[in-house]
Amino acid sequence: MNKNIALFVLFITLFSCKPNLEEQQIIAKSNQPKDSTIANVDKDKNGCLASAGYIWSKVNKECVPSYTGIQLNPINNKDNEDETLSAFILFGEDGNQAEVFLPSQESIILSRKTKDSPWVYNDYQLVSSNGYLLKKGSEILFLGDGELGKKATHDEPTEGE
C-alpha cells in the first residue's frame, strides 16, 4: 500500500509541474524580439550591417562598405596606413555632390555649383587639384591622389615595381 501511495504522489508531482514548464516556455518566447537574429541586432537605423563594415551613404542612398571611395590622408601624416584616421569621398551620380566620411564623425555633404568650382559645406571645401584636398577654412586637413582604394605608402610597392 505504501508503494501505491508513493507512486501516486510521484505521479501527481510530475504531472502538476508540466503546465508550469509549458507556461514558462510560452512566456520566454513572447518576451523575445521578433527579429532577434544577430544580423538584425547589428543593423543601424538605415539597415546597414555594421559588423560587416557597411555604413549609410546619404548621397547614394544605400549601404556602402566603410573605407570605400577616394581615400584622403591627414595632411600631418601623408603616409598614414591607419584607415580609421583617413577621410573618404563618395560622389553623387552627377558629380555635384561629394559625401566626405571624416574619422569618428558623421559624414558631411558638400555641393558645387559648376564643374570647375570646389565642393562646399559651411567652412569645409573639397578642392580638385592634382587629386583632392579637404580644407576647413584656410587649413588643409586631408590630401589624396584621387585614386580609389587603399593607398600605397613608401614601404609598399605600387603596381609595376
Pairing of strands 62-65, 54-57: antiparallel
pLDDT confidence of 153, banded at 50, 70, 90?
very low
Lowest mean pLDDT across 38-52, 58-72, 147-161:
147-161
8 Å CB contact between 81 and 87: no
Write the burial class of residue 159 (CB in 10 Å: 0-12 exposed, 13-18 middle, 19+ buried): exposed
pLDDT confidence of 21, banded at 50, 70, 90?
low
- pLDDT exceeds 50 at position 158: no
The pair phi, psi for residue 147, each rounded to 5°, is -90, 145
Find where cell 501505491 sits.
Answer: 4
Cα–Cα–Cα angle for 135, 141, 142, rounded to 5 degrees:
100
pLDDT of residue 83: 79
Report the share of the chain in percent with pLDDT over 90: 35
pLDDT confidence of 154, banded at 50, 70, 90?
very low
pLDDT of residue 161: 41
Taking all residues of the chain, what is their mean pLDDT, rounded to a whole number? 78
